[in-house]
Amino acid sequence: MEGALPTEIEHRTLETLGTRNFDGQIDGPVTAHPKFDAATGEMVFFGYQATGPGSKTLRYNVADKNGKLLRNEFFDAPFAAMVHDFFVTDTHAIFPIFPLTTDIGRVMSGGPMMAWEPDKGSHFGVIPRNGTAQDVKWFSMEPRFMFHMMNAWSDGTRLHADVTASNATQFAPKLDGRMADAADGIAPTFRRWTLDLADNTGTIKETLFDDWACEFPRTDDRVGTKPYRHGYAVGSDGGEFVNFSHLLHYDTQQGNARRAWTPGKHYMLGEAVFAPRVGGTQEGDGYLIVLGFNQDSGKSELFILDAADIEAGPVAKALLPLRIPAGFHGSWVAGG
């Protein structure tokens, strides 16, 4: 569970400065995926099970560019669930509640802490960026699961979220103890969810873009919360999602055409981090930095690719003398 306050790190020395509670205004959990609005400098973040383990309460927060807390709103989801990531546009924040449930009573009776309960469906709570708990509006769709989102943006009354998501998950068993399998749709794929605030039916439209299994979606961070063109992920061409050996580039203005590069199927690639080219201002003008594990040599390699032409392969590569343990995420911070 993601039950801790955020940890502050000095970005030049990487020294740990300690936890950050925003002058004592936050004393509950904060998740690992805050969103940053490059236009305003605001950080939008949240915590789930915000009033204690097993609670269905979410906490919505906004801090300004100077770190001052602007929003601290609490509201209840339909049920207690794991909510690892969320969506933020320039106008709204969207909280996806998938049927990966948490139940303390279930644990006390000998059951699992978390369980996959697809009959509960998926629900999305939408709040204006400057709104309060009373402004939350709920939408629903079929059972889905998502760890990570690519990007989200507003288009009039419509809100779009591009994600790597699946129809089921093996993160926890079903109530009967069985695990979901390939037939349930456990492989995450690139897709879009659209919510229309003017639609009183509260439904969500889903558009599938690709059948390759993929995860760890990223963009050029400068376009977060805004319409974008270039998305990146790691994936597999065989529908499997255990060994992501391919780096993927999706062009959302060219029918989400997929481009791919792989150093070989014996590699396992980590999340690609975008680094802007020095002096570059256009979206996607920069490099992708990817750590790969060579399962034949037992050592890791660092690849740097031109983000505009990943099919050309790396423009630079560093051979490391050891294996870097697999991780999840990374960030690019410019020097100086």
**Would the pLDDT of 173 be above 70?**
yes
- Distance between CA atoms of residues 76 and 268, nearest Å: 39
Q: Is 256 left (phi over 0), alpha (psi -120 to 50) or beta?
A: left
The string of pLDDT tens digits covering residues 72-101 is 999 999 999 999 999 999 999 999 999 999
Q: What is the three-class DSSP state of 262?
A: coil
pLDDT number for residue 143: 98
**Would the pLDDT of 232 be above 80?**
yes
Q: How confident is the model at residue 336 (pLDDT cuts 50, 70, 90)?
A: low
**Would the pLDDT of 34 be above 90?**
yes
Average pLDDT, the chain: 95
pLDDT number for residue 98: 99
Full DSSP string of 191-230: EEEEEETT-TT-BEEEEE---SEEEEEEE-GGGTTS--SE
CB 332 within 8 A of CB 275: yes
What predicted TM-score, i.e. pTM, was given to this entire model?
0.95
CB 215 within 8 A of CB 234: yes
pLDDT number for residue 334: 84
- Distance between CA atoms of residues 227 and 113, nearest Å: 38
pLDDT number for residue 333: 85
Nearest CA to 323 among 263, 267, 262?
267
Q: Extract the tokens encoding 121.
A: 């469906």
The string of pLDDT tens digits covering residues 119-153 is 999 999 999 999 999 999 999 999 999 999 999 99
Residues 6+ apart with CB under 8 A from 283: 220, 222, 223, 228, 229, 230
